[in-house]
C-alpha cells in the first residue's frame, strides 16, 4: 500500500526458524516462476537462542540466509543471469569462527557483540565460497558493508547503554535509504560480474579483513553450515 505497486507481495519468513525458512522457500517456488535477485538483508544483534538451538544472531544473520539461498539456488540458476547480495558489516573484522562450537554463543562479557561480529565474518566468507561454487553459472554474489545505519538493529542493546549510543546514531549514522545504496549498487550495477564473491562498501570494491579472504576457512564454514541446517551436502548445494 505504501509503495503503490500492486506487484509487491508480502510473504512470511522467520529466519530464526529453519522450519519457517523451508516453508517460505517451498511456497515461493510454487508461486513464483522467476527469481533474478536475492538480497539477504535481515540482521539482529540481540542475544538468545532459537527454536533450532542456535544463537539468535548467528542463525538469523548467517544460517537462516545460508539455508534460504541454498533452497532458492536452483531457481536463481534457471533464471540466470541473477545475483545474490549478502549484507555483511565492517564488524566482520572482529569476527572469530570456531568451527567446533559454530552456532553457539561465544563466552565472555561481550558474548552478544562477538556473536554478531562472528556472523558478519560468516556473511563475507559465505559470499566468497558461493562465488567459487557458482563459477560458470551466470549467478554472481557480493558481500556488502552498508555503512553504520540508524535502524532498529540496536533496539536490543542494554538499557544503560542506549542514552549514550542513540544520540550518536541519530547524529552520525546513515538513514535507511542511504544505507541501502551499496546493496542496490551490487544488485543493479552493470559490469560487476567479474567481482563475484568480493566485498563492497561505499558502492566500491574493497578488501575485507584478511581472515575473510581465507578460502580454506570459507570452505570449512560452508560444510559446517550445511550440516547445521540439515543439508549435508544435498538440497541443491553446488559443487566447486
Cell triple for residue 26?
Answer: 517451498
**At 169, phi and psi to the nearest 5?**
-60, -45
Measured distance CA(204)–CA(194) in Å, rounded: 14
> Cα 54 to chain center, whole Å?
16
Cell 564454514 sits on residue: 221
Catalytic-role residue among 58, 116, 200, 222: 116
Measured distance CA(130)–CA(197) in Å, rounded: 7
Is residue 116 part of the annotated active site? The answer reads yes
Measured distance CA(106)–CA(1) in Å, rounded: 42
Measured distance CA(57)–CA(123) in Å, rounded: 12
Positions annotated as catalytic residues are: 116
Amino acid at each position: 500500500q505504501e509503495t503503490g505497486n500492486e506487484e509487491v507481495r508480502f510473504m512470511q519468513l522467520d529466519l530464526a526458524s529453519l522450519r519457517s525458512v523451508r516453508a517460505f522457500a517451498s511456497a515461493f517456488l510454487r508461486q513464483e516462476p522467476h527469481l533474478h535477485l536475492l538480497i539477504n538483508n535481515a540482521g539482529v544483534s540481540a542475544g538468545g537462542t532459537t527454536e533450532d538451538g542456535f544463537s539468535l544472531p548467528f542463525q538469523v544473520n548467517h544460517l537462516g540466509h545460508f539455508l534460504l539461498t541454498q533452497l532458492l539456488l536452483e531457481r536463481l540458476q534457471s533464471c540466470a543471469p541473477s545475483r545474490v547480495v549478502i549484507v555483511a558489516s565492517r564488524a566482520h573484522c572482529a569476527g572469530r569462527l570456531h568451527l567446533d562450537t559454530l552456532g553457539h554463543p561465544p563466552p565472555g562479557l561481550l558474548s552478544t557483540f562477538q556473536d554478531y561480529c562472528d556472523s558478519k565474518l560468516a556473511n563475507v566468507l559465505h559470499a566468497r565460497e558461493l562465488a567459487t561454487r557458482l563459477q560458470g553459472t551466470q549467478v554472481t554474489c557480493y558481500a556488502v558493508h552498508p555503512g553504520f545505519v540508524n535502524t532498529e538493529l540496536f533496539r536490543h542493546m542494554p538499557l544503560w547503554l542506549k542514552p549514550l549510543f542513540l544520540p550518536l546514531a541519530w547524529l552520525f549514522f546513515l538513514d535507511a535509504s542511504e544505507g541501502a545504496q551499496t546493496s542496490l549498487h551490487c544488485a543493479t550495477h552493470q559490469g560487476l560480474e567479474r567481482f563475484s564473491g568480493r566485498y563492497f562498501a561505499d558502492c566500491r570494491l574493497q578488501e575485507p579483513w584478511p581472515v575473510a579472504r581465507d578460502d580454506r576457512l570459507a570452505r570449512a564454514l560452508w560444510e559446517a553450515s550445511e550440516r547445521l541446517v540439515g543439508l549435508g551436502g544435498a538440497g541443491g548445494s553446488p559443487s566447486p
